[in-house]
Amino acid sequence: MTDGVTIRPYDAERDESSLWGLKRDFELELGAETGGDDKAAVYAEKLTPRYRDRWLAWVDRCVDDDPGCVVVCDPEVGVEAGRGEVDGDAAATGLVGYAFLLPESLSFVWDAAVLNEIYVAPTRRGTAVADELFGAVVEQAQTQDLPLDRLVLDVDAENDRAQAFYRRHGFEPWGEMVAREL
């Protein structure tokens, strides 16, 4: 285990605000760092109070369905926490990372376990927190009854750091996701 942190299942009562701060940071970084001003604006505009409420309700439904599907990285007392933003106001998040594996009931979307999101606060990158979160995701995925014994995810082609992380953990290309506006 990484010094100074604990990887544990998400607890809505304890972690909701912190998780949202990290999710918001994840979305803002993803928009800003992997696609220019238009993508950044689209990602920032979606982060409304309604989106927050809907996303957190979805997390709760997923966790109710598959209790270990969301794990968080909690710094130990006295260890600096990450920073996040909650509806535009800077606040200490308390948590320094999270990973979100879709519940087993959604495994037929890709016929595999799906790593929906993994995020580590910038101050904790390079400290093995992502490795610890990823290990917890793999352990949870191995408990799921899957059509194919695979773990899949989508990663932005411009996110070199994430691409390297996933390659280091044995991922290789398996198709390509395309999208269009509705």
Q: Could you please report the per-residue DSSP string of 51-114?
A: HHHHHHHHHHHHHHHSTTSEEEEEEPTTSPP-EEEETTEEEE-S--EEEEEPPGGGGGGTTSEE
pLDDT (tens digit, 9 = 90+) per residue, 124-151? 999 999 999 999 999 999 999 999 999 9
Q: What is the pLDDT of residue 36?
A: 67
**pLDDT for res 79:** 40
In single-letter form, the type of residue at position 65 comes to D
pLDDT at 44: 85
What is the band of 156 on the pLDDT scale with cuts at 50, 70, 90? confident
The domains of the chain, with CATH numbers, are 5-168 (3.40.630.30)
Residue 181 DSSP SS3: coil
Q: Tens of pLDDT along 157-174?
A: 888 889 999 999 999 988
As a whole number of angstroms, the longest Cα–Cα distance in the chain is 48
The model's pTM: 0.85
- pLDDT-derived band at 89 (thresholds 50, 70, 90) equals very low
Tell me what percent of the residues of the chain surpass a pLDDT of 70: 86
- Summarize pLDDT for 1-24 with one digit per residue, the tens: 556 789 999 999 999 999 999 999
- pLDDT in the model for residue 1: 54
- Predicted pLDDT of residue 90: 30
DSSP annotation of 126 reads T
